[in-house]
Chains A and B, each alone.
Chain A
Amino acid sequence: MKGVPILIAVALLVTSTSYGQQQQNGQQPNGAPPSESPIEPRPRDVPPGGRANTPAQNVVAVPVPVAPPRPNGPIQKSLVRITATEVAPDYRAPWNAGMLGRGVGAGFVIDGNRIMTNAHVVSNSRYLTVERDGDPNKYPAKVLFVAHDCDLALITVDSPNFYKNMLALKFGGIPELESTVSAYGYPIGGERMSVTTGIVSRIDFQLYTHSSIDQHLAIQISAQINPGNSGGPVMENAKVVGVAFQGYSGDVAQGVAYMVPTPVINRFLKDVSDGRYDGYVDLGITYGKLQNPAQRKFLGLKDDGRGVLVETVVAAGPCAKILQPGDVLLSIDNHPIASDGNVELEGERVEMPEVVERKFKRDNVKFDIWRDKKSTSGSVQLDTVPPYLMQSHKYDVRPRYVLYGGLLFQPLSLDLLEAYQPTDLRLRHFFDFYVIDQIYREHPDVIVLTNILPDPINTYLAPYRGGIVDSINGKKIHTMDELSQTLAEPADRLVIDLIGDGPPLVLDPKQVEGARERIKMRYNVVREQNLQEQPTTKAPDLQTKI
């Protein structure tokens, strides 16, 4: 087995000679060509003997190439390695702090003494350190802004020495298809900076898996990107053209990696320029193409290839005031909308939502509308559409829950589903159709009885697990706050009706009160409820105190 990594290491050494001077350490394998004397001794070379139990122990460290020719300049003066200690909330025991984990990602210095990285590198972090090449120190860092919807974050280091000798990188535009780009980062396979190159394969809208509901422009590149590349810059001609952020694991597809392109990055930087991140706005509508001749004729439209059909208008979205299903959108901000949903922006055909992608909270958007064979127009102030958040991953929050008589009530969310993996058809329906069927109007929180901590007072209640709370003592329950208040009200008995045909769940509040301390003790429950998804760490001052 040992032969294999050694051979790989040799191959790497050989290929990297093309960069110029090489530097060796004490672990040079037999048979490798002797090296030139090192130009710059590196303190972080793998020491003789290596670290126990690391797969890399037999791998000879690859020196960072230092001399030209390198098209992107001395990247190690901009690149940083970020180590995040994170605490992921435990949705199955939400009173606990959660699972402790550690992750390594990359970042790069930009203007204003800021470091850009991915949101997922710093999400749920409790402590962040930053290292740079050629410097033995670890610098504590703090988060300035996190954008979970586009997987970008800005962090900074307080230490005044840190930014000395660091170069802020500049951003470029959208690279051409087939042009060569290089990705820098700290992927698995070694400790030092890694460079991979590839070409730009595709420019398209993609799902950003960090939130798992947001779709933005993303650029697919053929450069190898692995865990640890996240947050690292992808460069072309000494300019950042993207931030590496996601890819497929090797068993799904190979050589498919994605980077956040500069239009998304620039929007993020502009959004935070006022000191807060507002996030992407959304129209809160669905629309369809209008390519069918009969349908166009029915709607009284000319055969001019223009207009899209409004299908669903989310009541909680900004367009609910001016649009209704069946409307035809003819133009957006005076850009004509083609019947396939495309508009022309700065000479390029893009999908209509791209117009909104470039806007910010409280910006306006204007539509020319065709309704009942008459033309009209309307303008709305853009905003986020909160119900969508239920279907997205959440970070840096404490899960909400209420524990009562050993019964654990939690609001339905993507994180909850992933924690419990329920197969219940009703739960799945409430989740899948929460926004599109506007379930949120009646159930702002879909309150699920997720678990029962066994105790003599609830010993027969196991069959109720997975039920969704409809009402308590005849009163409809819409939110976790209402649930908490209603459970606290004095009553002779509590009759909890769950949605569907099942029997009511009946509890005696006196018994529950009597069992309270017992359940808390037995299951080590520190708090019986949390109703606020308050941020856990984001006040930057807290960071340095840890």
Chain B
Amino acid sequence: MRSLFISVVFALVVTAGAAVKKEAGSPPNKDVKQKVLSLVRVNVTGQPYDYFRPWQKKAPVSKRALGAVLSKGRVLVTADLVTNQNYVELERAESGEKTAANVEVIDYEANLALLQPSEKNFLDGIAPLDIAGDTVVGDRLAAWQLEPTGALVATEGLVTTIQMTKYPVDVGQFLTYRISIPMQYRENSYTIPLVKNNKLAGLLLRYDPRSQLIDAIPAPIITHFLKEAEGEHYQGFPGVGFSFFPTRDPQLRKYAGQTGKPGGVYITNVEPNMPAMKAGMQVGDIVLAVGNHEIDQNGNYVDPLYGKIDFTNLISAHSYAGDVLPFQIQREGKPMELKVTLEHRDAKDYVSPPYALDEAPKYLVLGGLIFQELSRQYLKEWGPNWQREAPQRFVYLDHFQSELFPGEHRRIVILSQVLPANNTIGYDEFSYLTVLKVNGQEIKSLNDLAAAVKQPIEGGFIKIETEEDPKQIELEAKSIDAEAPNLQENYGIPSLQRLD
């Protein structure tokens, strides 16, 4: 096995060398020599939480990547590189010198993170990269990778599309560059900077080796992130809290009472307690313009750099939480202006949080019954096809949460599995149940449940009511306490609960 592995690596190095020669032969890349030092290697050991055994972490995974050195001794990487990290290390490419690093700011939604070396002078002598903000379709960007020797490999590609796409944690859409590029594998392909005229134009978001297409986090999103990171409290990208639909259908425009020329989007849902509702927006309104930008029937505005692009870019990339953005709307034919104060919606403000990273999952083990809070992070334990493979009621509750629990601040507590024990005889086949009540009290969080179990009902019983069959489960309070040490011992559970 070992010899095979080495030969594979060798083959890759050879092709890499060939590629460099070729690139150096054709149009000489002026960036190469000068900018070698703008990169550092980033070595990360991460350990995700195990949602199926929420008291423990999974086996550690190591990743090697690149970071872009920015001004003020900061290093920019993608958030998914340092998510759930235990240890981050920076390594100078030319000397192999290493130091530990801290994650200063991280934005999971925009997939960006800033690192700072623990040794203040570690990055001395490295020329920082500036940000290139004016990339347009047709520009050529160079992907920067490092050879094992520390030499730079720059591969050029063409920006083919600039559009809004979903980022890995799937909260809203962000601006994305799509680049057609014949990039080869290197040992550290995690965060790859894309450079234009010695300036950072983007960071690799995903790469499809078959079609040789890169999606990159673009400079405007990076700039937004960096600008906010300089402030005291990093909030995150702003949102408004509505859903919309194109107004291409003349029947729908007529129904909405739209007058004047066609254009704008039809508001189909306004979420409670969110900026749009606070500003007075209603279902059925037609949004004609945001800021000074007119919106067409498909929901696009004309961007000076990119041309037609989805108007949500005006909110996410161009505005900050706390900004007041004027929305020109038409309500039953009458023009109105709504002043929307943008807010960032934290993952914790969802009923089923879309992600929970770098934080330990809550749980409570009661006599062998394992209770947890539903989140998309939990559902993703079922793998890439979690929407099909995870328990269908949970997928439904997560997907339709804003429709099912409008404006509610709550969690969905689930009985995820049962550890066979004296208290759970006859219950050991139960799994994936939705908890409604415990001891007669409605359960809207794991803390509710923890409080409710402390108040047994008559006879010293704890009664759990579930949405699904079996509908009711009873335990004896005193027996739970008596058996707790055994349970911890048998299943290696250091603590029977984690509530914060």
Contacts and interface: CB of A to CB of B under 8 A. Distances in A.
Partners in one complex: yes
B426 A289 contact: yes
A170 to B, nearest CB: 42
A422 interface: no
Contact of A503 (B250, B266, B396, B475): B266
Given A326-B471, A503-B266, A506-B249, A291 B393 contact: no
Interface string A287-324: 01111111101110000000001011000000000000
Highest count of chain A CB atoms <10 Å: which of B251, B254, B400, B461:
B251
B423 interface: yes
B359 interface: no
Given A325-B471, A501-B268, A506-B252, A425 B387 contact: yes
Given A425-B400, A501-B243, A506-B249, A294 B423 contact: yes
B393 A493 contact: no
Contact of A501 (B246, B269, B396, B475): B269
A436 B468 CA distance: 9
B252 A433 contact: no
Contacts of B470: 288, 309, 311
Interface string B419-435: 00001111100000000
Contact of A493 (B255, B395, B461, B469): B255
Contacts of A297: 459, 461, 474, 476
A502 interface: yes
A425 B398 CA distance: 11
B392 interface: yes
B254 A506 contact: yes
A295 B474 contact: yes
B426 A298 contact: no
Interface in B453-473: 459, 461, 463, 468-473
B391 to A, nearest CB: 11
B268 A294 contact: no
B486 interface: no
Contacts of B427: 292
B461 A312 contact: no
Highest count of chain B CB atoms <10 Å: which of A290, A298, A425:
A298
A354 to B, nearest CB: 20
B165 interface: no
A292 B425 contact: yes
A432 interface: yes
B426 A291 contact: yes
Interface in A478-521: 493, 495, 500-504, 506-508
A428 B474 contact: no
Contacts of A507: 251
Contacts of A295: 426, 472-474
A503 B299 CA distance: 15
B475 A429 contact: no
Given A426-B400, A493-B255, A503-B266, A288 B424 contact: no
Contacts of B471: 311-312, 325-326
A290 B426 contact: yes
Nearest to A294: B476
Given A290-B426, A506-B251, A311 B469 contact: yes
Contacts, number: 94
A317 to B, nearest CB: 15
B405 interface: no
A49 interface: no
B118 interface: no
A242 B424 CA distance: 41
Nearest to A425: B399
Contacts of B266: 503
Contacts of B396: 425-426, 428-429
A292 B426 contact: yes
Interface in B238-285: 243, 245-246, 248-252, 254-255, 266, 268-269
B97 interface: no
B230 interface: no
Nearest to B457: A298
A49 to B, nearest CB: 51
Nearest to A297: B476
Contacts of A495: 255
B184 interface: no
B102 interface: no
Contacts of A493: 251, 254-255
A463 interface: yes
Nearest to B469: A311
Contact of B461 (A298, A461, A503): A298
A51 B268 CA distance: 64
B182 to A, nearest CB: 34
Contact of B469 (A312, A433, A504): A312
Contacts of A299: 474
Given A461-B249, A506-B251, A326 B426 contact: no
B62 interface: no
Nearest to B458: A298
Nearest to B398: A425
Contacts of A433: 393
A428 B392 contact: yes
A294 B245 contact: no
Given A429-B396, A432-B392, A507-B251, A298 B425 contact: no
B403 A501 contact: yes
A27 to B, nearest CB: 51
A249 interface: no
Contacts of A503: 245, 252, 266, 268
A500 B396 CA distance: 13
Given A291-B425, A294-B474, A325-B471, A500 B461 contact: no
Highest count of chain A CB atoms <10 Å: which of B424, B459, B471:
B471
Contacts of B395: 425
A288 B461 contact: no
B479 interface: yes
A463 B269 CA distance: 16
A295 B472 CA distance: 9
A426 B249 CA distance: 24
Interface in A418-435: 425-426, 428-429, 432-433
Contacts of A289: 426
A294 B254 contact: no
Interface string A516-540: 0000000000000000000000000
A460 B474 CA distance: 54
A436 B423 CA distance: 28
B377 to A, nearest CB: 18
Contacts of A291: 425-426
A286 interface: yes
A507 B252 CA distance: 8
Contacts of A432: 392
Contacts of B393: 429, 433
A508 B459 contact: no
A135 B472 CA distance: 64
A468 to B, nearest CB: 12
A493 B250 CA distance: 13
Nearest to B367: A294
Contacts of B255: 493, 495, 504, 506
B439 to A, nearest CB: 12
A292 B400 contact: no
B472 A326 contact: yes
Q: Give 7 closest A-B pairs by Cβ, nearest first.
A: A291-B426, A460-B249, A292-B426, A501-B269, A506-B251, A298-B474, A311-B469
Given A326-B472, A463-B246, 17 more contacts: A288-B470, A291-B426, A292-B474, A294-B423, A294-B474, A295-B426, A295-B474, A298-B459, A309-B472, A425-B400, A429-B392, A432-B392, A493-B255, A495-B255, A501-B243, A501-B402, A503-B268
26 contacts: A286-B469, A288-B470, A292-B424, A292-B425, A294-B476, A295-B472, A297-B459, A298-B459, A298-B461, A298-B474, A299-B474, A326-B471, A425-B399, A428-B392, A429-B392, A429-B396, A460-B250, A460-B251, A463-B246, A493-B251, A493-B254, A500-B400, A503-B252, A504-B255, A506-B249, A506-B252
